[in-house]
Chain A
């Protein structure tokens, strides 16, 4: 599907390449520096994750803990209470869509901004999502991963995960104007 934003995404990706060629700096235009620990941690967290379980769990939690986020799911049917939300197949499916979408950032950690340019336009121009909601969903995702990992979810691992999520959130908000 072609969005007006897709050319912007192409320009942005090409812009990074141009910057890198002209300045002979392989890191030019790249938003974030990752340590080896952070890279390894992010890959590990997502490798150990069942996206089809964690995605729905995070979205359920977000809709229950921050009920105003339900405003974006008006056509999803019954969201009347926590039990209804957790049983709702459209919510579950959308949770999976979100995590599989996040996978693109996991595979392109050095260019998350360009990777998400099109999605950012979609969330802004078509879906009209308040970008603060991305942060609320990220917090819920952190809680879900903490519950899965238990004691192994150390402060350092949490810091790396939250840094990654912060970059995702910022990139998704980048094309809002």
Chain B
């Protein structure tokens, strides 16, 4: 399910509309992930405060959206463009890649709630494909 030119254009157009709110989106999506899928908390047991909109959640949400922005800038070759991030997730963080689709779902729920008019089905499918491909690129170095 690789990205067509139409998909890439749609993702970039959506990003242009939502990127000003990237920090808020990231914080909300991550806070939501920890709440809706509590098993994901295990990756953050070293944080004092896992509550919604806590300092560490906001900071980390911002970092995640920075990764998304990077992926968009390298959308034509995410596998090679995200090798460093993949190595970090594979060897250092060792996040089970099944969790990537949970966060992708939360990100899209947040986008839908914040920008309902900018996320019709025709845009949703492109974003869903993009996040799925991003997850694959992130898992590239796992084994």
Q: Are B124 and A146 in contact (CB under 8 A)?
A: no
Is there an interface contact between B112 and A147, defined as CB atoms closer than 8 Å? yes
Contact check, B125 vs A64: say whether CB atoms are below 8 A apart: yes
- Tell me if B61 counts as interface (CB < 8 A to partner A): no
Interface string of A138-162 (1 = CB under 8 A from B): 0100111011111101111011001
Name the distance in Å between B134's Cβ and chain A's nearest Cβ: 16
In the assembled complex, the Cα of A139 lies from the Cα of B121 at a distance in Å of 12
> Considering only CB atoms and an 8 Å cut-off, how many residues of chain A contact the other chain?
24
B108 at the interface (CB under 8 A from A): yes
Q: How long is the Cα–Cα vector from A155 to B113 in the complex, in angstroms?
A: 12
Which residues of chain A are within 8 angstroms of B31 by Cβ–Cβ distance?
155
A53 within 8 A of B: no
* Chain B residues bordering chain A, tally (CB within 8 A): 21
With contact pairs A143-B108, A147-B113, A150-B114 given, residues A86 and B36 touching in the complex (Cβ less than 8 Å): no
Secondary structure class of chain B's binding surface, majority of residues:
helix
Tell me, in angstroms, the Cα distance from A19 to B32 when the chains sit together. Answer: 38
A-side contacts of B35, CB under 8 Å: 155-156, 158-159
A113 within 8 A of B: no
Contact present for A61 and B121 (CB under 8 Å):
yes
**When A147-B113, A147-B116 are in contact, do A61 and B124 touch as well, CB less than 8 Å?**
yes
Contact B113 A151 (CB under 8 A): yes
Q: Which one of B108, B109, B125 has the greatest number of beta carbons of chain A within 10 Å?
A: B109
Q: Are A153 and B113 in contact (CB under 8 A)?
A: yes
With known contacts A158-B35, A159-B35, A65–B128 Cβ distance under 8 A: yes
B8 within 8 A of A: no
Hey, which bits of chain B sit against chain A, CB under 8 A?
28, 31-32, 34-36, 52, 105, 108-110, 112-114, 116, 119, 121-122, 124-125, 128
Enumerate the 10 nearest inter-chain pairs by beta-carbon distance, A residue then B residue, closest first. A155-B35, A147-B116, A64-B121, A155-B32, A146-B113, A146-B112, A147-B112, A65-B125, A61-B121, A159-B36
